[in-house]
Amino acid sequence: MTVASTARGYLAGLAERIAALFDANAQAIDAAATAIEETSARDGLVYIFGTGHSHMIAEEAHYRAGGLALTVPVLATATMLHEGAIASTAFERMEGVIEPILDRYPIGPNDVLFVISNSGVNAVPVEAARIGKSRGAKIIAITSEIYSREAAKGRTRLADVADIVLDNGAPSGDATVAVPGSDLKVGPVSTSIGAALINAVLAEAASRLQTSGNGAPIYLSANMPGAAENNAQLIKRYRARNHHL
């Protein structure tokens, strides 16, 4: 066995999956970037929600160096991991959990709502997409088409509700690398791929906004020249509508 062969195999496999993302999602990426461009023109916001590990995609896009300032994470302890992973797994499968959470966020017809769910069948993300859609928002899903089809068993999938579907291509169960001497697998990929997908969409949207002459509201890293002034202007513009700033 070569040195760190499992790690090498995982990284090589992840790189192959990320390299294949654009061809598999070209039309969806284009549509998602267009939706964000239109939202920006209406001075709307891009809300991002996921449960469990998927909530990290919402944080990835929030107040991010090189990221768009019009993004707003939807964050609630009950659906996250840091204060109770076992409980959050139970909560994400319960109907009715998300409605009081979304009541804190004035999502409407000027806005986009990303919903991230790898399996794409748990009650909370599916219900979040339905509620966002009922409010007139454009719904963009990041999910695994393969996994969600296998897991659905007659249930409505997030992909069935969303207006635009970005397929992360993750396998059922998420893990990708076999553990020698066992039937187990390690090396989940959905978080890495989800972060790559949402950043690809936001980058495309930012490029379009800038070239259209409207200007892209982009945060700079705090250690870059001009960052304090640039970011202060963006915070002033969005803070009243993003209570996580």
What percent of the chain stands above pLDDT 90? Answer: 87
Residue 165, phi then psi, degrees to nearest 5 = -120, 120
Cα(203)–Cα(66) distance, integer angstroms = 8
Domain locations in the chain?
5-241
Task: Give the angle 28-32-38 at the CA atoms, nearest 5°.
Answer: 145
3-class SS of residue 72: strand
User: What CATH topology corresponds to 5-241?
Assistant: Rossmann fold (3.40.50)
Closest CA to 126 of 99, 146, 150: 99
Cα(9)–Cα(16) distance, integer angstroms = 11
Q: Kindly list the distances between the CA atom of residue 30 and the CA atoms of 37, 81, 152, 165, in Å, as whole numbers in the listed order.
A: 11, 32, 27, 11
Q: pLDDT tens digits for 123-160?
A: 999 999 999 999 999 999 999 999 999 999 999 999 99
Above 70 in pLDDT, residue 107?
A: yes
Q: pLDDT tens digits for 22-58?
A: 999 999 999 999 999 999 999 999 999 999 999 999 9
Order of strands across the sheet that contains 46-50:
71-74, 46-50, 112-116, 138-143, 164-167
What percent of the chain stands above pLDDT 70? Answer: 99
Taking residues 219-237, what's their average pLDDT? Answer: 97
pTM, two decimals, is: 0.95
